[in-house]
A and B are shown apart, each in its own frame.
Chain A
Amino acid sequence: MSETDTESLIGDEARAAIGSELGRAVGTVVQKEFQRWAAAVGDRNPLYFDEDYARANGYRDVVMPPMYLAHVTGGVVDLDELRADGIPIRSGGSGSVQLPRCPRRMAGGDDITFLEPVYAGDVITSVRSLAGLEQKSGRSGDFVLMHFRTTYTRDDGVLVAEAASSLIARPANS
């Protein structure tokens, strides 16, 4: 891939955001919210639903499903602040990295290390930064891989998890 191609999908504004903090958000863990998530996954693990079972296995209460963590700090979105595809314009995430030539978004991947169990009532702060932007070529054309780093910290200062995640940004209908 030539340097010209490399520059073509990633603009200066997006490139300048690499390394910067994109967003910081705080959320309180709500038992019913993570249970609704688990039920939507079809994951009826009793650790998430049955307090006695959770206690018998060393937890102090039902525990939050680890993969729910990314949703704890989600915000409130106004309907007039959505892109045409329904993604928030400013989400502290992908929407705030401007890639006008690549409007389509898809999950790329996750690499998460879980350090502490999380319970209902825990207050979690997530800090997300843009770790990098990579232009790639795939079967369905060129795309940009957006790399993020996120830390999740409880309000007593304990880091509960850290994540490297990525999103795929594709040109319109490529």
Chain B
Amino acid sequence: MAEQIYFEDVNEGDEIPSLSLEIERVQMFFFSAATYNGHRIHYDQSWAQGVEGYQDILVHGPLQVALLARAITDWVGGRGRLVNYAVQNRATAFPGEQLRFKGTVTGKRQEGETCLVELKVHGEKGQGQILMPGTATVSLPRRGR
């Protein structure tokens, strides 16, 4: 894990470190297994192509959602917390595609003792095609507390 980030260190417009990766079929199988998901579009290529008309099996929407959450929770560190997370699945992703998960700070505020940071987040692929736009609210610790 990276060093803990503190509320005081964050400014509007800051970008969180992006997560960039390709999802392969084995990982998709493990995600289906870990979520008890038997939906054929995630493992049955002939079903995905022949019956549903996709070019290949589909990377699970919830896996993309989890990867974007991972980018956020990696950034907030051990003492930060994910408070609210809202994303919409807008496009499909396929195994072997380069996926990127990003976030930008859009604001910060305090509610009592709680220090909150607002983020605009998204997942994308290719030349920047948006897979998932969203927002997140995280809490961060203050220095010296």
Contacts and interface: CB of A to CB of B under 8 A. Distances in A.
Tell whether A and B belong to one assembly.
yes
Interface of A: 33, 36-37, 39-43, 45-47, 53-54, 56-58, 65-67, 70-71, 74, 77, 82, 85-88, 104-114, 117, 166, 168, 172-173
Interface residues of B, number: 44
B38 to A, nearest CB: 4
9 contacts: A43-B70, A46-B78, A65-B69, A71-B34, A86-B39, A86-B44, A111-B86, A114-B81, A172-B51
A43 B73 CA distance: 10
A113 to B, nearest CB: 5
B63 A114 contact: no
Nearest to A82: B38
B-side interface mostly: mixed
Interface of B: 1, 21, 27, 30-31, 33-36, 38-41, 44, 47, 51-53, 58, 60-63, 65-67, 69-70, 73-74, 78-79, 81-89, 92, 132, 134
A77 to B, nearest CB: 7
Query: Nearest 10 A-B pairs (CB), nearest first?
Result: A107-B61, A57-B78, A109-B88, A111-B86, A86-B38, A40-B30, A37-B34, A40-B34, A86-B40, A43-B70
Given A40-B27, A40-B31, A112-B86, A107 B39 contact: no
